[in-house]
Amino acid sequence: MNEHKGSRFAHITRAHPCFNEKMHDKVGRAHVPVAPKCNIFCNFCTRDINNEEDRPGVTSCIMKPDDAITHINDVTADGPISVVGVAGPGDSLANEETFEFFEKLAKEQPDLIKCMSTNGLLLPKYADKLAELGVNSVTVTINAIDPAIAENIYSFIKYEGKVYKGREAVEILIKNQLDGVEKAADNGLVVKVNSVLIPGVNDKHIVEIAREVEKRGAAMMNILPLIPLGKMKDLERPDCSMMESIREEVEEIIPVFRACTQCRADAYGIPGKKSEDHHLGMTPQSHY
């Protein structure tokens, strides 16, 4: 990590399990599933409500912001949770409830690190607001910055009341993702970029994403293997050697987070410690 970014963000990364591999099995995060809607269509995405699958986009329920605050009060009383995140199951910024939740959380528990993930479409619009709400870190998922590649990954976007498809859609998305990274970083948020590695689609392109997002102010990247689902259910999941060689290439440009195991939108507890990691489906639903 370059010195300037490293020292600027040290107070966050020290205690954040998703930005500091050493903390991934020591401190916890709690995701609140307050954001069900999404404004784009990624071809690998299948959101679902169930108690079984252990992957992003899955939750056992959708919570209202007030219930989410109660849940956070409960889990922070139980264990060492340092970060509270909104990670869907849809796009955090496409749901008003995300803002309401963070506003309430800042009043209720001002010392917790506030985090969220987004596809970045609305990040230029909301980066200032997130900073005002005291959100500390954001993960933006960017799977291509070349429109010709992105067209294979996204089917459509819904933006400012209109549906866009094909080249027009991905050009808007890419521009907003990169401008959003820059604006969030300029506003003092720690920005991590997630890229889903899709063999045969963007595997040779991830390093170009790294170069661009590093320039735009991202502090770190997390390269995730495709989970073949949805329209991409017949594609191969990348093998370990492909993952490793691309992570090594990217690491020449920007720090790479390697401890991620792709958790659920309702996960809470210590992500790197199986016995202390939970999700909402494991507790009685009547509570919510």
When binding is defined by CB under 6 A, the residue of 36, 65, 90, 269 that contacts ligand SF4 is 90
CB of residue 75 to ligand SF4, shortest distance in Å: 13
Of 23, 27, 40, 223, the residue at the interface with ligand SF4 (CB under 6 A) is 40
Residue 271 C-beta: closest distance to ligand SF4, Å: 4
Give the bridge partners for 139, in sequence order: 117, 192
Q: What is the CA radius of gyration of the chain?
A: 18
Q: How many positions of this chain bind ligand SF4 (CB under 6 A)?
A: 28
Among residues 58, 71, 72, 91, the one that binds ligand SF4 under rule CB under 6 A:
91
* One-character DSSP codes across 222-253: EEEE----GGGTTSPPPPHHHHHHHHHHHHTT
41 binds ligand SF4 (CB under 6 A): yes
Q: Candidates 263, 266, 278, 279: give the one binding ligand SF4 (CB under 6 A).
A: 263
**Taking a C-beta distance cutoff of 8 angstroms, is the pair 242, 203 a contact?**
yes
The reply to whether 193 sits near ligand SF4 by the rule CB under 6 A is no
- CA 43, CA 71: separation in Å to the nearest integer? 32
**Per CB under 6 A, which of residues 102..161 are in contact with ligand SF4?**
115-117, 119, 139
The correct pick among 31, 71, 183, 279 for binding ligand SF4 (CB under 6 A) is 31
Q: Is 227 in the site for ligand SF4 (CB under 6 A)?
A: no
The CA dihedral of 252, 258, 260, 262, to the nearest 10 degrees, is 60
Using DSSP, state whether 277 is helix, strand or coil. strand
Alpha-carbon gap, residue 141 to 10, rounded angstroms: 22
